[in-house]
Chain A
Amino acid sequence: MTVTQYRSAAPAGSDGFAQLVRAEWTKFRTVRGWMAGMILAGLLTVGVGLLSHGECGSQAGPSAPVVTGGPACSDPLGPGGEAVTDGLYFVHRSLGLDGSITVRVTSLTGSYSPAGASAQDLKQGVQPWSKAGIIIKSSDIAGSAYAAMMVTGSHGVRMQWDYTGDAAGLGGAVSAASPRWLRLSRSGDTITGYDSLDGTHWSVVGTATLTGLPATVPAGPFAASPDYTVVNSRSAAGGSGTGGPSQATAAFDRITLQGAGPDRTWTGTAVGGPPGGPYPVLGYRQSGGGLVVSGSGDIAPVPPSGEGSLANTLIGAFAGLIAMVVVAAMFITAEYRRGLIGVTLTASPRRGRILAAKALVVGLAAFVVGLPAAWAAPLIEDPLARSRGIFIYPVPVLTEVRVIGGTAALLAVAAVLALALGALLRRSAIAVTAVIAVIVLPYFFAVPLALLPAGAADWLLRVTPAAGFAIQQPYPAYQQVTFDYTPGNGYYPLAPWAGFAVLCAWAALALGLAVYLLRRRDA
């Protein structure tokens, strides 16, 4: 036979990965329901946070039980820009550019009001972070820069500065039989803290640089005691802690001030306004050659939670994620349902590349929708919350970039995970159920609903793909502040990038398995 074989007249073209991505993108954008799903996902990410309608000021006064975790009306800001609480009583003289203050602390006692009740119900005892010692503070305005050496209720000697700085010194509790010597020495902006058991042998505890410290600053003994709190540790719920104000009283002697200013007498100041409450004895008195100082409140960063925190503003991300994982799973399961997978694999027989192209398309689509949504959420919600008087906890710019970009990345990787599970399970309903079960349910029960015991919530947020939500944690957990650092309050058991890495590992594992099976199985 003399048949000349037909030669394709198709225009030359590339067979590269870019063509495959373009083909998959064409598939993705030409199904109206999927595009609508992605837009819905963006709207949910922005909008769910708008559903909170808290009022500030639900933190009760001293005569009623304090419910922690409610939105705050206002908080002072520390030198680092974070929200702080700055309540203490301190007795001060002025200190020049170079000098030091040294004291011996011989006792630390306290009382507290378990249910925010009146003075009659006071119980004796110090709080773990009751603190008394010496402080150099740039002014008596709440939120001003400081450095302090202190004894604490149960965390030994500490040096703390500018609310977030914390360094440990000598351990053990202070008593008349076992006093602690504390010293702060100033050289310009640099403050060094020392401690000693005998006033002879000194150790450096820490060094702080307080930029822009005035030439003459108040320095002297202080006392403060944070609220007595009961953390309801059986639940991860935010706002479940209760408690009441507390007070600490410390005795100081052997007070020496070098480089002092011209004033020769001590002045007492309650920073952060008069705490009031059931304590008639706030202030100081001279005792022999020393001072006894009583104070209430805390000098510490505020762990933000609930409304006004960026974590709460972005709570809608999980709802957006649900919509996105449904679309992402269907991007492959719909092909199995319709038999279209056969056409896809006929056009591109190199099967691993198909899944890679699909993953790239859904991942990028989720990121591109998620990024502006996560960026818009605080822009829209914060002014509305402010208009209700709610204090918006500040977030450092880099952290905000990480949280917002991370939210978009979280949606992207979750979409890839959903796609991979779709390829493995091949049925829309089963795949969507699986994704919801491994990422949305652990998050939902541990974080917004806070229905799980804290241990279970922590475990789930360490090992399941829901660990990735840690990328949304905007504020660090301060170990020097007693707080319910639970997922329900926006604090995750894993560090932000570690949690995100857990999610990425799951997505990579599922995608790898999906590629392996797609290559092996008949289509």
Chain B
Amino acid sequence: MSDASIAVSGLRKRFGTTLALDGMSFTVQPGQVTGFVGPNGAGKSTTMRVIVGLDAPDAGSALIGGRVYRSWRRPLCHVGALLDSGALQPSRSGRNHLLWLARSQGLPARRVDEVSALVGLEPAIRRRGGGYSLGMRQRLGIAAALLGDPPTVILDEPFNGMDPEGIVWMRGFLGSLATEGRAVLVSSHLMSELEDTADHLVIVGRGRVIADTTVSELIAAASGDRVTLRTSAGSLAVTALEGAGAAVTVTGAGTLAISGLPPEKVVAVLGANEVPFSEVSAHRATLEEAYLELTEDAVEYRAAEVTR
């Protein structure tokens, strides 16, 4: 057995005519933040619900620390999960919400105060949960996930509804959890939210993993060896570069994308043929571009068509 904190293998799950999970497999390692990214409907939430035993998969398995979630006796001391920040009884105070959860694990009320301080919810903790903003609910959900001080934390869209200050806090907080040695699995449908946070990325679409990679590998793969050229003499440049064996595409007025030649060779060819240019640069894809490229054909409305 690997030392993976979460090991998801071959999950399949069908809801009526919709195939929600189609062979979902990945692992989450301790000590890092794993981003779980994909368009809406890609199966992120369903995967998380299967991991914590709320939904039963039709096939496959999901193990936490090598065991099925349901077999843990005090599960919140092994995994903390925030799946739905709206899951509150509106008239119950945030503190009482945490208190009943603590009781269910045999944890002392002191833990409630510790985690509410940890997420910065102390001033509002005795107010009724129904009056919380979305950001406060996210913090309460994270406090609940941390009650049992678990080595594995699963958060479904924790950035939703957070104000910019909250997003900054959340990024730092997730990083610190990973630094402590915890395994952190964070889902989002927006790559930008995870760009500076996630060490590892699991990109999903149509119920399966599209890419399981690190942030830098993903950017390198998406960038390829393309060179961007700005020139006022487009046709001259195309002739010269194609003559040198490159593939050239016109990407805009006075902008060309070249592949097959490194930047310094492009400059040499242009110089030799006396083609004027204003800029030659190696293209570097953004994470967002890489993500969009990967998930292009996996967005929800198209995924719906392929269901059998």
Which residues on A are within 8 Å of B, measured CB to CB? 1, 3-11, 13-16, 19-20, 22-24, 26-27, 30-33, 334-335, 338-340, 342-343, 345-350, 522-523
Between-chain CB contacts (< 8 Å), 24 pairs: A4-B31, A5-B30, A5-B31, A5-B181, A7-B151, A8-B150, A10-B77, A10-B105, A10-B107, A11-B107, A13-B74, A13-B77, A13-B106, A13-B107, A15-B73, A19-B105, A23-B104, A27-B92, A30-B96, A31-B92, A342-B49, A346-B52, A347-B101, A523-B49
Residue picked from A6, A14, A22, most chain B C-beta under 10 Å:
A6
Residue numbers in B under 8 Å from A339 (CB-CB) = 84, 86-87
Q: Which residue of B lies closest to A523 (CB)?
A: B54
Contact of B86 with A347 in the complex, beta carbons under 8 Å: no
CB distance from A10 to the nearest CB of B (A): 4
Q: Which residues of A contact B108 (CB under 8 A)?
A: 11, 13
Q: Is the CB of A23 within 8 A of B103?
A: yes
Task: Find A5's partner among B3, B99, B100, B147 (CB 8 Å cutoff).
Answer: B3
In the complex, which residues of chain A have a beta carbon less than 8 angstroms from the beta carbon of B72?
Answer: 349
Which residues on A sit within 8 Å (CB–CB) of B147? Answer: 10
Contact A342 B91 (CB under 8 A): no
Given contacts A10-B77, A346-B54, contact A26 B96 (CB under 8 A): yes
* Complex Cα spacing A1 to B72, Å: 27
Query: In the complex, which residue of chain B has the Cβ closest to the Cβ of A344?
Result: B104
Task: Give B contacts to A, CB under 8 Å.
Answer: 3, 5, 29-32, 49, 52-56, 69-70, 72-78, 81, 83-84, 86-93, 96, 99-101, 103-108, 111, 144, 147-151, 180-183
B182 touching A522 by the CB < 8 A rule? no
List of A residues within 8 angstroms of B53 by Cβ: 345-346, 349
20 further interface pairs, Cβ-Cβ under 8 Å (given A5-B3, A6-B151, A8-B149): A5-B181, A5-B183, A6-B180, A6-B183, A11-B108, A13-B106, A13-B108, A14-B106, A15-B105, A23-B101, A30-B92, A33-B91, A340-B87, A343-B101, A346-B53, A346-B76, A347-B75, A347-B104, A349-B69, A523-B49
Asked if A8 and B100 make an inter-chain contact with CB atoms under 8 angstroms apart, the answer reads: no
Chain B residues with CB under 8 Å of A343's CB are 83-84, 87, 101, 144
Contacts of B105 in A (CB 8 A): 10, 13, 15, 19, 347
Q: Which of A5, A7, A10, A340 has the most CB of B within 10 A?
A: A10
Q: Which residues of A contact B149 (CB under 8 A)?
A: 8-10
Task: Determine the residue in chain B with the shortest Cβ distance to A335.
Answer: B89
| A291→B42 CA distance, assembly (Å) | 103
Query: Which residue of A is nearest B69, CB measured?
Result: A349
Main SS at interface, chain B? loop
Measured CA separation A24–B93 after assembly (Å): 15
A3-B104 in contact given A13-B74, A345-B54 (Cβ < 8 Å): no
Which residues on B sit within 8 Å (CB–CB) of A30? 89, 92-93, 96, 99-100
Tell me if A346 and B89 are in contact (CB < 8 A).
Answer: no
Residues of chain B with a CB closer than 8 A to A9's CB: 149
Q: What chain B residues lie within 8 Å of A14 (beta carbons)?
A: 106
Residues in A whose Cβ lies below 8 Å from that of B30: 3-6
Per the bound structure, the CA–CA distance linking A10 and B76 in Å amounts to 10
Q: Are A31 and B181 in contact (CB under 8 A)?
A: no
Which 6 interchain pairs have the tightest Cβ spacing? A13-B106, A3-B31, A23-B104, A30-B96, A6-B181, A26-B100
Determine how close the nearest CB of chain B comes to the CB of A239; give it in whole angstroms. 45
CA A1 – CA B70 in complex, angstroms?
A: 29
A347 to B91, CA, bound (A): 21
Option from B89, B91, B148 in Cβ contact (under 8 Å) with A10: B148
Tell me the smallest distance from the CB of A341 to a CB of chain B, in Å.
8
> With A5-B151, A342-B49 known to touch, is A349 a contact of B111 (CB < 8 Å)?
no
Residues of chain B within 8 A (CB-CB) of A22 are: 103-104
Residues of B within 8 A of A27 (CB): 89, 92, 100
**Closest approach, in angstroms, between the C-beta of A337 and any C-beta of chain B?**
9
Do B106 and A15 touch (CB < 8 A)? yes
Known: A7-B151, A522-B56. A342 touches B100 (CB 8 A): no
Instruction: Provide the bound-state CA to CA distance between A338 and B52, in Å.
Output: 18
Across the interface, which residues of A come within 8 angstroms of B148, CB to CB? 8, 10
